[in-house]
């Protein structure tokens, strides 16, 4: 599930790989706005917002429309950095006599690619409009940031980029094209049944697996075995601990794989055919 937060840059729950400045322009005047702790930018009647974004190393800014077609905003060089100036228009509300921001013109996306391991993160930066409590005509604006998707990257036997923790990547053609231009596929680790979530490899035997991901809130995860992927429910985890859970990259053993019961949904909308039962987590080695 996506993690979201409202914040000033220095108080981010999840650090954003970019420097952000918010400005408001109206009638030739430009004001710099410092967001409050909850991201509030105040109330404005008209004009436009401008986001000045300087991505850190390995990050890039893209825009998408409602159909997720990618476009590339203009940037200017500032020494070793690139500065993006993104206009966020204020539009007349259809329900009240007020100006608001609307999706998709109210946001941009930030892609971050890191090495060791090769990892992909997709963030969204937006300015969101919400009416003040008890009124529809007085609008507060908020700077929001959200980590939408995150996955370790691999390549398969067809020399294609794959992201086991982000299934939507396989269906997003524009993003696949972008990644093909910006990632040296030959340097990616090969995805196999023995590849862990941190890109290393382990020798697996029958009835052994590696945790690809596990969602604490849902109590559901996925393990990779020598033959296939399988789902794990917290009820099938055998441990002496009071709280039963798994961690990505952890090695496990299981008694058997059974046809999926389909009595619960994966938080990542993963389609599973098999469930693992009698799952025993191995201790995690501390480095």
Tokens of 112: 């971050």
Among candidate residues 23, 109, 101, the one with its CA nearest the CA of residue 65: 109
pLDDT digits (tens, 9 = 90+) for 98-112: 999 999 999 999 999
pLDDT band for 262, please (50, 70, 90 cuts): low
Q: Is the pLDDT of residue 200 over 70?
A: no
> Among the CATH numbers 3.40.50.720, 2.40.50.140, 2.60.120.380, 3.30.70.580, which is that of 208-281?
2.40.50.140
Say which residues have a Cβ less than 8 Å from residue 177's Cβ, sequence separation at least 6.
Answer: none
Mean pLDDT computed over 33-57: 92
122: left (phi over 0), alpha (psi -120 to 50) or beta: beta
DSSP 132: P
| β-pair type (107-114, 99-100) | unpaired
pLDDT at 11: 34
**Worst-scoring range by mean pLDDT, 8-12, 116-120, 159-163, 267-271?**
8-12
d(CA 16, CA 110): 9
Among candidate residues 114, 121, 20, 110, the one with its CA nearest the CA of residue 58: 114
pLDDT band for 192, please (50, 70, 90 cuts): low
* Domain residue ranges of the chain, discontinuous segments joined by +: 3-152, 154-187, 208-281
d(CA 138, CA 223): 49
- Give the long-range contacts of residues 191-194, CB within 8 A, separation 24 or more: 191/154, 191/155, 191/156, 191/162, 191/164, 193/224, 193/225, 193/226, 193/227, 194/226
State phi, psi for 271 to the nearest 5 degrees. -90, 110
Q: Dmax of the chain from CA atoms?
A: 70
d(CA 36, CA 224): 44
Give percent of the chain with pLDDT exceeding 70: 86
């Amino acid at each position: 599930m996506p993690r979201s937060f409202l914040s000033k840059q220095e108080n981010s729950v999840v650090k954003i790989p970019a420097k952000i400045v918010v400005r408001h322009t109206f009638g030739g005047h430009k004001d710099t706005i410092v967001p409050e702790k909850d991201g509030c930018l105040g109330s404005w009647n008209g004009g436009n917002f401008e986001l000045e974004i300087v991505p850190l190393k390995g990050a890039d800014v893209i825009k998408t429309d409602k159909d997720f077609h990618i476009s590339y905003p203009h940037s200017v060089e500032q020494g070793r950095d690139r500065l993006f100036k993104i206009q966020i228009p204020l539009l007349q509300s259809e329900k009240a006599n007020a100006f608001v921001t609307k999706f998709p013109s109210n946001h941009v996306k930030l892609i971050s690619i890191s090495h060791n391991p090769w990892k992909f993160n997709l963030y969204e930066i937006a300015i969101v409009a919400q009416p003040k409590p008890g009124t529809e005509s007085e609008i507060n604006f908020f700077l929001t940031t959200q980590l939408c998707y995150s996955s370790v990257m691999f390549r398969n036997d067809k020399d294609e980029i794959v992201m086991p923790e982000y299934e939507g990547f396989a269906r997003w053609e524009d993003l696949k094209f972008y990644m093909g231009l910006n990632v040296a596929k030959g340097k990616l680790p090969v995805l196999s049944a023995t590849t862990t979530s941190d890109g290393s490899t382990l020798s697996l035997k029958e009835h052994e697996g590696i945790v690809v991901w596990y969602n604490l809130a849902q109590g559901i995860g996925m393990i990779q075995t020598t033959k296939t992927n399988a789902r794990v429910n917290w009820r099938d985890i055998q441990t002496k601990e009071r709280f039963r859970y798994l961690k990505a990259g952890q090695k496990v053993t299981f008694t058997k794989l059974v046809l999926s019961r389909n009595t619960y949904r994966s938080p990542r909308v993963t389609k599973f055919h098999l469930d693992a039962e009698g799952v025993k987590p191995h201790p995690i080695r501390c480095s």
